[in-house]
Structure 1
Amino acid sequence: MSTDSAAPPSDERPPDTMALAYEHVREAILRGKLKPGAWISQVKLAADVKVSRTPLREALRRLQTEGLVQLDFNRRVRVSPLSIPDLETLYSMRLATEPLAVMLSVPQLTVEEIGSLEAALAATNGAAAKGDEEGATEHHRTFHFQLFSHTENRLRAQVESMWDHSVRYLRIYHNAPSYRLALIAMGRTGHEEIFQAAQARDARRTSRLVAEHLARTALTVLASVAGAHDPKMIRESLRFVLESAD
């Protein structure tokens, strides 16, 4: 029997439907398309994402470990709600980990990576000046992620995840892009100082500046959404980090 008509073997792998579902749902949550506290049936979600239930369940379990969804016994999905205590805890955790990741990574940055850092900073400022909030946010993210790019995978992934969760809070608590642009513009001097310290491969100074930058952002955001809240955890986290860096 002839096999001439058989399809040639392909090097292309079938798409990873679990990963596709994970990215789709995660992006919808982080951007606020799936509202905090909303209950969604897995059947509807599978239809919306266009995947079967099995890869969707795997994706949801992964999102559950990130704290983005909650699952109940009836197989419903609840988008994790937002709260001021959770926001403060999130920034405090970033204060405890991101400066460490930066301190470990900065001495390993190559000349090319320092160039990329400078380019990301210039692109951030340029996009902010044009009122391009999406562009400024993406370049701002690139700038900070480059600072801890040489960190061990587990720590780097944790820091990146917390960064994205912080942006989710900003997008939902401050729906107007102008506020997020103002927040980026407010940090311009701090970013310049962080870049100069990283360029000099001064790991401790870069780490300290990143901690102070994070604390200023956290205190500004918390004051804007809950002025009566006492951000004691942020102050204690910053004190702990700065004392450890001395």
Structure 2
Amino acid sequence: MSLSSTISPAPSLADQAFAALVDAISNGELEPGSRIKEAEIARNLGISRGPLREALSRLESNGLVERKTNLGVSVTSLSIEDLDDLFKMREALEGQACGLAAERMTPLDITHLEEMLERHADTTAQTGHYKQMTADDDFHFFIIEKSGSRRLFRALCNDLYQQVRMYRHRSSSNLIRSETALTEHADIIRALASGNRRKAEDAMRLHISNARENVLWVENKIE
């Protein structure tokens, strides 16, 4: 095997722009409905319009931005009905993924989740905001990955995952909901540790159902 085949290529300017915009959308810096000012963003990222437009095309295919005639590009803004549908879909699919994960989790996996939750609890206590900013530190992402289902992983961790992150940031700024979510995550870990598929699925479905109600409440207030 040649050395070149073992080294991953450096991310292109378009890749870097895509990652930066995903982060900005996920952390609320670019809110749903806000217009993408290409010249300003290109200048801030230190790149030309070409790589930026390539990144925007990828964001559009992921459902994170949308183009409107004569209005340019803006961050996707989902209606209350779309959000309701998104979270109901997530509840069904992620509940199933959690059930599958319960049958595959090792003691080391459970320990990893417990340590992750401790970090999240510390951050929430300091900021009053439950943040999971990267896929590597995302409670749900880890469980879905451990389900062993590639189809569920693709369905939940690509377009759906990004859109959930976009709205999760706004709803998780509610301290009461953040603390409740931590408790629900602890319940999910206990269910996973039991190895009981039904118990794990029910715990995840309850958590996402509660998250859906909170997201809809927050978005209704904003509207």
Secondary structure of the equivalent of 2:132? helix
Secondary structure of the equivalent of 2:131? helix
Task: Describe the superposition over 1:81-130 as per-residue Cα deviations: whole angstroms up to 9, x where unpaired.
Answer: 243222212211211221122222332222211110121223333433x3
Identity %: 27
| Number of the residue aligned with 2:211 | 217
* Pairs within 5 Å for 1:3-22: 13-22=9-18
Task: Describe the superposition over 1:186-237 as per-residue Cα deviations: whole angstroms up to 9, x where unpaired.
Answer: 134432321111112222210111001110121233234438xxxxxxxxxx
1:33 and 2:29 matched: yes
Structure 1: how far apart are the matches of 2:178 and 2:70? 42
1:117 and 2:103 matched: no
8 Å contact from structure 2 (residues 26, 166) kept in 1 = yes
1:204 and 2:204 matched: no
* Pairs within 5 Å for 1:158-197: 158-161=155-158, 162-172=160-170, 177=173, 179=174, 181-197=175-191
Which residue of 92, 98, 101 maps to 1:102? Answer: 98
Secondary structure of the equivalent of 1:71? strand
For structure 2, list consecutive stretches of 5 or more residues without a partner in the other structure: none
Cα–Cα, structure 1 residues 59 and 52, in superposed 2: closer, same or farther, change >3 Å?
same
Between 1:203-212 and 1:34-43, the stretch displaced more is 34-43
Q: CA deviation at 1:34?
A: 2.3
Cα–Cα, structure 1 residues 225 and 74, in superposed 2: closer, same or farther, change >3 Å?
closer
| Number of the residue aligned with 1:156 | 153
* Pairs within 5 Å for 1:77-92: 77-92=73-88
Structure 1: how far apart are the matches of 2:27 and 2:8? 31
Secondary structure of the equivalent of 2:36? strand
Cα–Cα, structure 1 residues 155 and 46, in superposed 2: closer, same or farther, change >3 Å?
farther
Structure 1: how far apart are the matches of 2:12 and 2:93? 31
Structure showing greater Rg: 1
8 Å contact from structure 2 (residues 95, 205) kept in 1 = yes
8 Å contact from structure 1 (residues 69, 77) kept in 2 = yes
Structure 2: how far apart are the matches of 1:19 and 1:78? 19
For structure 1, list consecutive stretches of 5 or more residues without a partner in the other structure: 1-8, 228-246
Between 1:44-53 and 1:90-99, the stretch displaced more is 44-53
Q: CA RMSD in A?
A: 3.1
The structure whose RCO (Cα within 8 Å, separation 6+) is larger is 2
Cα–Cα, structure 1 residues 200 and 139, in superposed 2: closer, same or farther, change >3 Å?
farther
Secondary structure of the equivalent of 1:137? coil
Structure 1: how far apart are the matches of 2:54 and 2:16? 11
Structure 1: how far apart are the matches of 2:199 and 2:215? 24
TM-score normalised to structure 1 length: 0.72
Structure 1: how far apart are the matches of 2:189 and 2:75? 37
Structure 2: how far apart are the matches of 1:193 and 1:43? 47
TM-score normalised to structure 2 length: 0.78
Secondary structure of the equivalent of 2:145? coil
Q: CA deviation at 1:35?
A: 3.5
8 Å contact from structure 1 (residues 187, 213) kept in 2 = yes
